[in-house]
Structure formats: structure tokens, C-alpha cells
């Protein structure tokens, strides 16, 4: 890469998140498989569909820029997903694993929130209207997913994980 | 690591963010050196002081748990900081570099927001009151830093970076 302008930086970071989204689309099915709570499985499944849509939106932006869609290795997402797979490989009790899955997904979402927030602002400065619109839609969906995951954690997953430590069952509390 | 309970998961993720904060404290001086805008340099310098405080707070939590402070390799932060150093090594024009520094720092902040948000909720479930208080303080500061960085980007850095592309000077717009 050679970065001489904001346009170059925009394109470079677009390639980063394009690769990140592809890594996420590949990782979510494993998380769905590992998850126990139906509402967590369902939220992850919904987000897999959204992720595929986010990839398509990025491809439309590449198209608008007259550039073939191409990712560059996103090391940030690689690291986040490696941490997740290391945690899962410890095979914690299923209640604790659900809590760990939510945390890992929230790291993924926050990486994306930072990325899309910045890209939308770059697109605004560069007056690429279609990109602003598409990036804004995706940013909104990533923020919503983060809130949904927080809701699932607070509605019982973290409590169930704690109860395992106490040797109690969730309904006792 | 062996994760059998929410307490184990809490401790494991505490070690992760402890290592992440140490990586950040090591990386910020380079970002201060690379930055051009005085308000960006100053915000980074302020955050370096906060980061050292966050490390001390984590050490107080380890102490409250009766565990010696110890980090485990945080691959998420490693990846985020590697991306940053790759971008900086491209030596973009200084206005574009300031924009890139802000983006990288916002990835760092969002990693931390996800981590501290989760840790605070785990600490609540585990009734570790001092940890809840300390983690809440840090979470608040990380969120504030993210907003300060957005403010600096929007107050002129991104526009200056765009103007480089147009061969214009910032004051013309």
C-alpha cells in the first residue's frame, strides 16, 4: 500500500474491514455451534445474515470507487478471533462458554463500530454519498447487535455462569 | 488456563486487559511522536497518564482477589497495534497520518470499552464491589477518550487530510 491522501487511507481501511467481515462470516457458524442458549444462537444466526449483507455493501462501495473488491489481512480481527478460539478450546461449562462467546462477539462488534464510524466520516469528507449511506446502515446494525448481546448477557447468561461457580441452578436466584 | 467458573473467566479476561494496557502504555509514546496536531499530541499524552492509572487499578483488583498481577498475551491488542505500526510505516503525509493515528487509537479504545464493560458486569455478578467501582471508573475514561478523539477528527483533522488530496490548504474550506 501507499497512502498519500485521505482517499488512499479510506480505500486501505475499506480493504481491512472487508477482510475482517469475511473472517467474521467464517467464525460465526462455530460460535452458533458452541452456544447453548437459544436466544444467543438466534442472535448469532441473525448477525450472520447481516454480516453477509455488510460484505455485499462493501462490494457496492468498491464498485462505486471503480476498484475491484479486495481485502487486506486484518490483523486486529485475526487477534480477536484467535483469542475467542483459545477460550472456546478450554471447554468451559456451557453457561460460562455462553458468557465467553458474548464477550468475544462484543470485541468483534466494537472493532467494527470503530471501523465503520471512521469510514463513514472519511466518506463524508470525500463526498462519496452512496458510501456514507451504506456505511451508516452497517454502523447502525453493528451498534444494535452489540446492544442485543449486552441484553442477552444481562438477562441471564452471566447469572447462569455465576451459579455454576456456586453449585446452584439458575432458577434458584 | 482452566476455566470452570465465571470467576475463572473474570480472572482470565483481567489478565488479558492487563497485558493489553501494558502494550498500549508502550505504544502511545510512538503515537505522540508521530502526531502533528498539538491537540492530538496533548490528548494522547493525557491518555498515557490515564493508561498508567488503569494498570494500577487492575493491580488493585488482582490484589483484592488475592492473586499476583500477571498478564496473558492479548492477541487482539497485538493485532490492533500491529495494524497501526504498519500504517505508520507507510509514512503518509502528516495530515493523513494524524487521521490514521486517531482511527488506530479508536480501535484501541473500543477494544477496551468491550473488555471493561464485560469485566464490570462479571464483577457485579460475582459481588466484587471494589472491582465494580474501579472497572466502572476506567470504562468511563475509555469512553470519554473515544469521544475526545472523535471530536479532534471532526474538528479539522479529517478535513485537513482531505485537503491534502485536493492540493488545497485547510483554511480555504
Q: Write the pLDDT tens digit of every residue in A60-109.
A: 999 999 999 999 999 999 999 999 999 999 999 999 999 999 999 999 99
CB-nearest to A158 from B74, B110, B125 is: B125
**pLDDT given for residue B168 in this prediction:** 44
pLDDT, position B134: 98
Confidence of residue A157 (pLDDT cuts 50, 70, 90): confident
Q: To the nearest whole number, what is the mean pLDDT of chain B?
A: 92
- Quickly list H helices, A35-93: 38-65, 75-89
The whole-number pLDDT of residue A168 equals 45
Q: Is B2 on the interface with A (CB under 8 A)?
A: yes
By the 8 A CB rule, do A60 and A134 touch? yes
Residue with cell 509514512: B91
State the complex-level ipTM. 0.91
Shortest Cα distance, chain A CAs vs residue B19, angstroms = 13
- So what's the pLDDT on residue B171? 37
> CA B19 to CA B62: how far, in whole Å?
13
For residue A51, count CB atoms less than 10 angstroms from its CB and return exposed for 0-12, middle for 13-18, buried for 19 or more. Answer: buried
Cβ-defined contact of A115 to B107 (cutoff 8 Å): yes
Cα distances (Å, whole numbers) of residue A72 to A11, A17, A78, B81: 10, 8, 12, 16
Structure confidence at residue A49 (pLDDT)? 97
For the stretch A101-115, pLDDT in tens is 999 999 999 999 999
Position A172 confidence tier, pLDDT thresholds 50, 70, 90: very low
Mean pLDDT of A135-162: 90
Distance CA B149, CA B166 (A): 24
Taking 50 as the pLDDT cut, the residues of chain B under it are 168-173
Q: Which of A9, A86, A100 sits opposite B9 (nearest CB)?
A: A100
B18 touches chain A (CB under 8 A): no
Q: Do B114 and A103 touch (CB under 8 A)?
A: yes
Record the pTM: 0.92
In order of A25, A92, B108, the CA distances from B5 in angstroms are: 29, 7, 28
Report the alpha-carbon distance of residue B66 to residue B64 in Å, rounded: 5
State the cell numbers at B104. 488506530
Q: Return the pLDDT at A51.
A: 98
Check residue A85 and give its pLDDT: 93
Is B121–A153 a contact, with Cβ atoms under 8 angstroms apart?
A: yes
Amino acid at each position: 500500500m501507499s497512502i498519500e491522501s485521505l482517499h488512499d487511507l479510506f480505500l486501505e481501511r475499506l480493504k481491512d474491514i472487508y477482510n475482517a467481515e469475511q473472517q467474521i462470516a467464517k467464525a460465526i457458524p462455530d460460535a452458533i455451534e458452541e452456544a447453548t442458549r437459544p436466544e444467543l444462537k438466534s442472535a448469532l444466526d441473525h448477525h450472520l445474515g447481516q454480516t453477509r449483507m455488510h460484505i455485499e455493501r462493501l462490494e457496492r462501495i468498491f464498485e462505486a470507487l471503480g476498484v475491484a473488491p479486495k481485502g487486506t489481512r486484518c490483523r486486529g480481527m485475526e487477534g480477536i478471533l484467535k483469542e475467542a478460539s483459545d477460550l472456546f478450546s478450554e471447554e468451559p461449562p456451557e453457561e460460562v462458554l455462553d458468557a465467553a462467546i458474548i464477550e468475544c462477539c462484543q470485541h468483534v462488534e466494537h472493532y467494527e463500530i470503530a471501523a465503520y464510524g471512521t469510514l463513514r466520516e472519511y466518506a463524508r469528507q470525500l463526498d462519496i454519498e452512496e458510501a456514507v449511506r451504506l456505511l451508516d446502515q452497517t454502523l447502525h446494525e453493528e451498534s444494535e447487535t452489540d446492544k442485543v448481546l449486552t441484553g442477552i448477557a444481562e438477562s441471564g447468561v452471566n447469572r447462569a455462569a455465576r451459579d455454576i461457580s456456586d453449585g446452584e441452578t439458575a432458577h434458584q436466584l
